[in-house]
Chain A
Amino acid sequence: MKKRCTLKNKGYFFLIDSLIALGILTIGIFLIFTMYLRTPSKEEAEIVSEDVMDFFANNKIKDVNNPYAGVNGELWNQGLITNAENTLLQQVAEFYKNYTLNVGVDQTLAEQYLDTSKTFVEEFTQNAISSQYELEFWIQDTLLYPREASEAHNRSKSSTSVLIPSKKIVYGISNKENGEMFGPYSVRVLAWQQRT
């Protein structure tokens, strides 16, 4: 009789023991994967900045169907874009060169070139990224996107823990007949996830 009870007890013990072990395993695995879930956010932000940079570096004016910046678009018809073989990044650099050439010489024209470059970048970036990300587009020390960094934007930037910028050096030939070049300029794209 005594031995039977012992066997019953053993069954319960093993059942409870296995349930506890299963619970511990579940909690353990959950904890491990929860901790790892934090890391992709920085990688995703980095991917966003690289995607934006690659888009600008790998697509030519002739390849984009855009009523503002494409061939026969607004800027093309105004004569501000003349080389359809330029990549979007080279076009930004060419606007920037014209801006720097006119600073202190013809300030109105300089501002016009700067404004055009800002609108140009805005045209391709404002709807390209998810609203949970913030983005900055710099050429040399000039911020092109956003046009003006708001206080909230700066606060969000300073509160982010990881900020890996995507960088490229851009240059090109602006006049094939006389060998006139633009650049080299340093371009940086920064993306980060907004803190909720």
Chain B
Amino acid sequence: MATKNLGKKGIFLTFIAISIIAALIIIFRPSDLNVGEDSEAIKTRIANVNEYVSDLENVYLERTLHATGIKTINSLILYTEINGFFTDLPAFEANFKEVLLNGTIGEAPIDSITGQEIMKDNTYNDWLGNISIIAKDAFNVNTNFTVYDIKVYQIRPWFVNVDANVSFLVSSETALWDKNTTIRTEIGLEGFEDPYYLVNTGGAYSNRINKSKNLVYKAWNIHTLGT
């Protein structure tokens, strides 16, 4: 009787072992629902968009501001050749902002005034629009920009600074990025046509801005300019 009971216990233990292993296999079996694959795809997608947002904030907005800033300066130099200097600094700042953002001056396309295609499809707003379209195509995200202000000023010789106060909203099905940032770029003035020559000679003579090698800050005088 005792033997029979012991034998039954052994079989019982075997069944328990089989049941536990079966349960383990069922629990740890990769699901047919492909939850793992979905989450992996979402993870990759968010990582891609996050990288895009970071690149936008740290590189793209600055680089396009720099490039359009150069084009704006070139356009305004040609504009002053035709129309003379701006009346004052605020007038220059307002026109710089309008040309950089819209490619217009007094709502007229600056390219039609200067006769050169510089700002067409190359305004800051154009470049913001371009990246929105590409991002929609590449990552299926919506990107909306708002440019609050553009400031142009000078803090050291031979360079012009341009600041853009921009906010952007990147939204996808899974996440949303809302950023407000001030983009700052510095444009070297060497190599641009000197508007002083263009305006005062009526465009008859042009001279590119060039930093003299003999010029020492705070030590320059009329005698060093000719060398």
Contact = CB atoms under 8 A, between A and B. Distances in A.
B30 A35 contact: yes
Contacts of A185: 134
B25 A179 contact: no
A166 B122 CA distance: 29
Contact of B130 (A9, A184, A188): A184
B7 A171 contact: no
B52 interface: yes
B41 interface: yes
B184 interface: no
Q: For chain B, what secondary structure do more than half of its interface residues adopt (helix, strand, loop), or is it mixed?
A: helix
A166 B41 CA distance: 11
Interface stretch (A38-46, A58-66, A71-79, A96-104): A38-46
B222 interface: no
Interface stretch (A21-29, A105-113, A115-123, A147-155): A21-29
Given A178-B70, A179-B69, A180-B67, A164 B41 contact: yes
A169 B131 contact: yes
Classify chain A's interface size: 35 or more
B17 interface: yes
B67 A179 contact: yes
Nearest to B52: A169
Given A173-B67, A179-B66, A13 B10 contact: yes
A179 B18 CA distance: 73
A167 B48 contact: yes
A32 interface: yes
Contacts of A180: 67
Contacts of A32: 24-25, 28-29
B7 A13 contact: yes
A169 B138 contact: yes
